[in-house]
Amino acid sequence: MDTNYIPTLLTSIGLLAFIFLIYRNVSGELTRSTYLITTYMYIFTAFLTIVLFNQLDFDILDDKNVYYITLVLSFLSIYLMITTSQNEQLKKHIFWVIFIISSGIILRPVIKTLIEKDMLKKIAIITGLLFFVISFISHTSDFFLFHDWKKYLIISVGIFIAISLINKFSIQLFQDNMDIISGAVSIIFVILLFIDTKNINIMSKNLSNEKCGRKSHIVCADYTSASTSIILDTTNIFSNFLLLLIHTPFASLIS
C-alpha cells in the first residue's frame, strides 16, 4: 500500500481544522483570549500551508521562473495587504493567502537543501523552540525591549537583502562574509519576533467588542496584519539558520 500521500493528507486535515476553528472564533465575541488564540491560529495555518506546498510533488513549483515570480508576488502581496483598508477584509485575506502560498514556494529550495543534509527536523525543532520560548517570554513579561529599534532593524534587513541579491546575481563580492550576514540577519529577526509577539500581546489588551463599536470582530482584529509580521520573522529565522550552518563550523554540531 502506497503511504506517500499520508503526510500530505494529515497536513490538509490539520489545515482544514484550523480554518474551521478560526471561522468559529471570529463568529463569536472578541475578547483578549480569542484575539490571541485566533492570531496564533492564523500563524499556524500559514505554517501548515507552507508545509503543504513543500509536500506537493509538482515540478513546476521548482522552476526558477516560478520562484522569481513568487518572490515578486510575495513582496507585492505584503505591500497590497498593508495599503488595503482594514475594512476591506476580503481583499486583505486574498493578499494574505497569496503571500503564504508564495512563502511556501520560496522556501522549497531551503527545505530541499535541509532534507539533503538531513537537517530538516533539527532546524525545524530549533526554530519551533525559539518561536515558543520568545512567544512565552513576550506574553508573560512586562519589559519591552527594542521597541524603538524596529524601523532601524527593518532598514537593516533591507540592506542585507540587497547584499544577498547582489551576491546572488552579480560577482559575489560578499561570498566570504555570508556567515556574518546570515548570523546578523538571524539575530535581527529574533529581535523582531520578540517585538512583534509583544505587540500582539499589547494589542490583545486594547481590543474588545465595546472598543470595536460597530465594527465586526474580524475587521476590528485585522488578523492578517497581526500574523504576517510573525510569519515573516519565523520563516526568515528558519531559512537564515540554514545559511548560517552551511557557512560556519556549527553545521557539524547538529548533522
Domain ranges of the chain: 6-254
The alpha-carbon radius of gyration of the chain (Å, integer) is 19
232-236 average pLDDT score? 91
Full DSSP string of 2-14? --TTHHHHHHHHH
Q: pLDDT for 52-76, tens place per residue?
A: 999 888 888 888 888 889 989 999 9
Q: CB–CB of 93/224 below 8 Å? A: yes
Count Cα atoms within 13 angstroms, Cβ side, for 220. 23
* The model's pTM: 0.85
C-alpha cell at 27: 463568529
If we measure between CA atoms, which residue out of 204, 202, 183, 192 comes closest to residue 228? 192
91-100 pLDDT tens trace: 999 999 999 9
Per-residue cell: 166: 547582489
